[in-house]
Amino acid sequence: MADLSFPLLTATAAVPAVGAIATAAVPAAKRTAAKWLALLCSLATLGLALVIAFRFRPGAKEPFQLTESHAWIRDFGVRYDLGVDGIAVALIALTALLIPFVILAGWHDADPLEGATPNHRWRPTQGFFALILAVEAMVVISFEATDVFLFYIFFEAMLIPMYFLIGGFGDRAGPHGEEQAATQRSYAAVKFLLYNLVGGLIMLAAVIGLYAVTAHQLGAGTFSLQQIVEARASGQLTLGTGTERLLFLGFFFAFAVKAPLWPLHTWLPNAMGEATSPVAVLITAVVDKVGTFAMLRFCLQLFPAASSWATPVILVLALISIVYGALLAVGQRDIKRLIAYASISHFGFIILGIFAMTSQGQGGATLYMVNHGISTAALMLVAGFLISRRGSRLIADYGGVQKVAPVLAGTFLVGGLATLSLPGLAPFISEFLVLVGTFSRYPAIGVIATFGIVLAALYVLVLYQRTMTGPVKAEVGGMHDLKVRELVVVAPLIALLLFLGVYPKPLTDIVNPAVGHTLSVVDKKDPKPTVQVNAVPGHGRPGQAVRDQDVEAAK
Amino acid sequence: MENLIALLVAAPLVGAALLLCGGRRLDRAGHWIGSLFAVASFAVAVVLFADMLGKSAEHRALHQHLFSWIPVGGFRADLAFQLDQLSMTFVLLITGVGSLIHIYSIGYMEHDERRRRFFGYLNLFLAAMLLLVLADNYLLLYVGWEGVGLASYLLIGFWQHKPSAATAAKKAFLVNRVGDMGLSIAIMLMFTTFGTFAFGPVLASTGATGEGRLTAIGLLLLLAACGKSAQVPLQSWLGDAMEGPTPVSALIHAATMVTAGVYLITRSGAIFNAAPDAQTAVVAVGAVTLLFGAIVGCAKDDIKKALAGSTMSQIGYMVLAAGLGPIGYAFAIMHLVTHGFFKAGLFLGAGSVMHGMNDEVDMRRYGGLRTHMPITFVTFGLGYLAIIGFPGLSGFFSKDKIIEAAFARGGTEGWVLGGAALLGAAITAFYMTRVMLMTFFGERRWDPEEVHPHESPKVMTIPMIVLAVGSVFAGGLFSINEAFVTWLEPVTSFAHGHSPVSAGAVTAATMVVLLIGVGIAWRMYGRKEVPAVAPRGSLLTRAARRDLLQDDFNHVVLVRGGEHLTRTLVYLDHSLVDGAVNGTAASMGGLSGRLRQLQTGFVRSYAVQMLGGAAVLVAATLLMRGV
Amino acid sequence: MNPVYYLYLAALLFTIGAAGVLIRRNAIVVFMCIELMLNACNLAFVTFSRMHGNLDGQIIAFFTMVVAAAEVVVGLAIIVSIFRTRHTASVDDASLMKL
pLDDT digits (tens, 9 = 90+) for A86-115: 899 999 999 999 999 999 998 888 777 665
Contact B67 A505 (CB under 8 A): yes
Q: Taking the alpha carbons of C59, C64, C69, C73 in that order, is the dihedral positive or negative?
A: positive
- Which residues in chain C have Cβ-Cβ distances shorter than 8 Å to B601? 95-97
- Which residues in chain C have Cβ-Cβ distances shorter than 8 Å to B602? 91-92, 95
Q: Which DSSP category does B17 fall into?
A: H
**Residue contacts between B and C (CB atoms, under 8 Å):** 23
- Which residues in chain C have Cβ-Cβ distances shorter than 8 Å to B605? none
pLDDT level of residue A117 (50, 70, 90 thresholds): low
Domain boundaries, chain A: 308-555
Where is pLDDT greater, at A347 or A183?
A347
A545 inside 8 A of chain B by CB: no
pLDDT level of residue A249 (50, 70, 90 thresholds): very high
B67 inside 8 A of chain C by CB: no
pLDDT level of residue B602 (50, 70, 90 thresholds): confident
Contact C22 B601 (CB under 8 A): no
pLDDT per position as a tens digit, B350-359: 999 988 888 8
A497-521: average pLDDT: 89
Looking at the predicted structure, is the pLDDT value of residue A503 above 70? yes
pLDDT, position A352: 94
B198 inside 8 A of chain A by CB: yes
pLDDT, position A113: 67
Q: Which amino acid is it at B157? A: G
| CB contact burial A279-308 (16+ within 10 A = b; e otherwise) | bbbbbbbbbbbbbbbbbbbbbbbbbbebbe
Determine which of B184, B187, B217, B571 to mutate to test the interface with A (most A C-beta atoms within 10 Å): B184
Number of domains in chain C: 1
B90 inside 8 A of chain A by CB: no
Contact B69 A330 (CB under 8 A): no
Give domain status of residue C94, yes or no: no
Chain B residues 347-386 within an 8 A CB cutoff of chain C? none
A282, A102 in Cβ contact below 8 A?
yes
Whole-angstrom distance, CA of residue A80 vs CA of residue A68: 8
Determine which of B596, B600, B602, B604 to mutate to test the interface with C (most C C-beta atoms within 10 Å): B604
Chain C residues 60-99 within an 8 A CB cutoff of chain B? 91-92, 94-97
Give domain status of residue C13, yes or no: no
Cβ partners under 8 Å of residue B554, min gap 6: B236
Instruction: Nearest chain C residue to B609 by CA: give it.
Output: C22
pLDDT per position as a tens digit, A122-168: 678 888 899 999 999 999 999 999 999 999 999 999 999 999 999 88
Whole-angstrom distance, CA of residue A379 vs CA of residue A420: 11
Instruction: Nearest chain B residue to C18 by CA: give it.
Output: B611
CATH number at residue C52: 1.10.287.3510
Neighbouring chains of B at 3+ CB pairs under 8 Å are A, C
Where is pLDDT greater, at A149 or B481?
A149
pLDDT per position as a tens digit, A252-265: 999 999 988 988 88
pLDDT, position B72: 86
- Which residues in chain C have Cβ-Cβ distances shorter than 8 Å to B608? 22
A454 inside 8 A of chain B by CB: yes
Looking at the predicted structure, is the pLDDT value of residue A530 above 90? no
Helices and strands in chain C, H and E counts:
3, 0
Contact C30 B601 (CB under 8 A): no
Give domain status of residue C33, yes or no: yes
A527 inside 8 A of chain B by CB: yes
Contact A331 B566 (CB under 8 A): yes
Cross-chain CB nearest to B569 (options A324, A428, A468): A324
Q: Which amino acid is it at B313? A: S
- Which residues in chain C have Cβ-Cβ distances shorter than 8 Å to B611? 18, 22
pLDDT level of residue A37 (50, 70, 90 thresholds): very high
Neighbouring chains of A at 3+ CB pairs under 8 Å are B
User: Percent of chain A at pLDDT above 70?
Assistant: 92
- Domain, as residue range, for C39: 25-86
Give B536→chain A minimum CA distance, Å. 32
A324 inside 8 A of chain B by CB: yes
Looking at the predicted structure, is the pLDDT value of residue A449 above 90? yes
B398-417: average pLDDT: 89
Contact A512 B72 (CB under 8 A): yes
* β-bridge partners, A224: A147
Cross-chain CB nearest to C21 (options B601, B602, B607): B607
pLDDT, position A536: 44
Give domain status of residue C39, yes or no: yes
For chain B, the average pLDDT equals 89
A117 inside 8 A of chain B by CB: no
pLDDT, position A529: 82
Verify A-C touch: 3 or more CB pairs within 8 A: no
Contact A461 B170 (CB under 8 A): yes
pLDDT per position as a tens digit, A263-278: 888 899 989 988 889 9
Q: Which DSSP category does B135 fall into?
A: B
Verify A-B touch: 3 or more CB pairs within 8 A: yes
Report long-range pairs for C27-32 (Cβ below 8 Å, ≥24 apart): C27/C79, C27/C82, C27/C83, C27/C89, C27/C90, C27/C91, C27/C94, C28/C79, C28/C89, C30/B603, C30/B604, C30/C91, C31/C72, C31/C75, C31/C76, C31/C79
Looking at the predicted structure, is the pLDDT value of residue B251 above 70? yes
Cross-chain CB nearest to B204 (options A453, A515, A536): A536
Instruction: Nearest chain A residue to B145 by CA: give it.
Output: A423
Whole-angstrom distance, CA of residue A33 vs CA of residue A20: 13
For chain A, the average pLDDT equals 86
pLDDT level of residue B445 (50, 70, 90 thresholds): confident
A53-72: average pLDDT: 85
Instruction: Nearest chain B residue to A543 by CA: give it.
Output: B65
Determine which of A267, A436, A546 to mutate to test the interface with B (most B C-beta atoms within 10 Å): A436
Report long-range pairs for B27-33 (Cβ below 8 Å, ≥24 apart): B27/B115, B27/B116, B30/B115, B30/B116, B30/B117, B30/B119, B30/B120, B31/B102, B31/B105, B31/B106, B31/B109, B31/B115, B31/B116, B31/B119, B32/B106, B33/B119
Q: Which of A392-396, A492-496, B440-444 has the highest mean pLDDT?
A: A492-496
pLDDT level of residue B30 (50, 70, 90 thresholds): confident
Chain C residues 4-33 within an 8 A CB cutoff of chain B? 18, 21-22, 25, 30
Residues in chain C, pLDDT under 50: none
Chain B residues 563-602 within an 8 A CB cutoff of chain A? 565-567, 569-570, 573, 577-578, 580-581, 585
Determine which of B598, B600, B603 to mutate to test the interface with C (most C C-beta atoms within 10 Å): B603
Where is pLDDT greater, at A361 or B452?
A361
pLDDT, position B22: 82
Give domain status of residue C29, yes or no: yes
Cross-chain CB nearest to B604 (options C91, C96, C97): C91
H runs (alpha helix) in B135-207:
138-156, 163-194, 199-204
Give B590→chain C minimum CA distance, Å. 23
pLDDT, position A549: 39
Looking at the predicted structure, is the pLDDT value of residue A539 above 50? no
Whole-angstrom distance, CA of residue C41 vs CA of residue C63: 12
Give domain status of residue C52, yes or no: yes
B347, B309 in Cβ contact below 8 A?
no
Nearest CA-CA partner of B48 in B99, B5, B96, B108: B5
- Which residues in chain B have Cβ-Cβ distances shorter than 8 Å to C95? 600-603
Helices and strands in chain B, H and E counts:
26, 2
Instruction: Nearest chain B residue to A411 by CA: give it.
Output: B21
- Which residues in chain B have Cβ-Cβ distances shorter than 8 Å to A364? 72
pLDDT level of residue A546 (50, 70, 90 thresholds): very low
- Which residues in chain A have Cβ-Cβ distances shorter than 8 Å to B203? 539
From the CB of residue B612, how many other CB atoms can be counted at a distance below 10 Å? 10
- Which residues in chain A have Cβ-Cβ distances shorter than 8 Å to B63? 541-542
B72 inside 8 A of chain A by CB: yes
Give domain status of residue C99, yes or no: no
Contact B611 C18 (CB under 8 A): yes
B402-429: average pLDDT: 90
pLDDT per position as a tens digit, B561-575: 888 888 888 888 888
Give domain status of residue C91, yes or no: no
Contact A531 B194 (CB under 8 A): yes
C-alpha triplet B496, B499, B503: angle, nearest 5°: 90
Cβ partners under 8 Å of residue C15, min gap 6: none
